[in-house]
Amino acid sequence: MLETVADFGAIIIADIVLSGDNALIIGMAAAGLAPELRRRAIIFGMVVAAVLRIIFAVVATKLLGIPGLLLVGGLLLFWVCWGLYKEIKSSVDERAAEALEHADDPTEGYTGKPRRTLGQALWTITVADVSMSIDNVLAVAAIADGDEQMLIFGLGLAILLMAFAATLIMKLLTRFPWISWLGLFVLIYVAVEMFYRGIFHPVNGILAFLGGGA
């Protein structure tokens, strides 16, 4: 019971701290548009992020059961941790909060003649959503470890946070930076555990695979 509660807590923390870079890209791309187009770009970014998380979750759940890919997932999660560390050091959350506020305020951000089309902004957002959705899904899938209810909870929460509380979450992380550091330590722990299982797991570990093939 305690382990389940801890896993749900880890998922909540991961969803919160991994939403910063996604919010920054969406906010910056939208703020560069004419005011009447910004809300459309933000909604598009949130919807694409939600759809991609669902697709990647289905794929990740299947792939992590293949021998050797658990190890690869652990290495990728270490890369996510490194990216999160750089974001914390460069105050991404603070810049994301400002970008989203500017995008929501028609008197802020860019208000002159359009410097870029809506299509260009949507392309920027989509490319960013792909990368950041993979990060989020990988972290949640690693913590859920095959538990479908936990996986659905994690992805649902991530989608809700992006859709309804992105600016609030960014302000929270800016005011309480220790939350970001806590999230980083949680993800490092998950990455280490995933890496270890990727080597020594009796079914999906690389040693079991090599031993079975010998």
Instruction: Indicate the SS3 state at residue 205.
Output: coil
> What values do phi and psi take at 112, rounded to 5?
-85, -155
Asked if residues 37 and 28 have their Cβ atoms less than 8 Å apart, the reply is no
Position 174: which residue type? T
- Listed by start position, the domains of the chain span 2-213
Sequential pLDDT tens for the chain (214 residues): 777 788 888 888 888 887 766 677 777 777 777 777 777 777 787 778 778 877 877 777 777 667 677 788 888 888 888 888 887 887 777 777 777 776 666 655 544 455 556 777 777 777 777 777 777 788 888 888 777 788 788 878 887 777 666 777 777 777 888 888 888 898 898 889 888 887 887 766 677 666 654 4
Q: Which residue has the tokens 């270890």?
A: 196
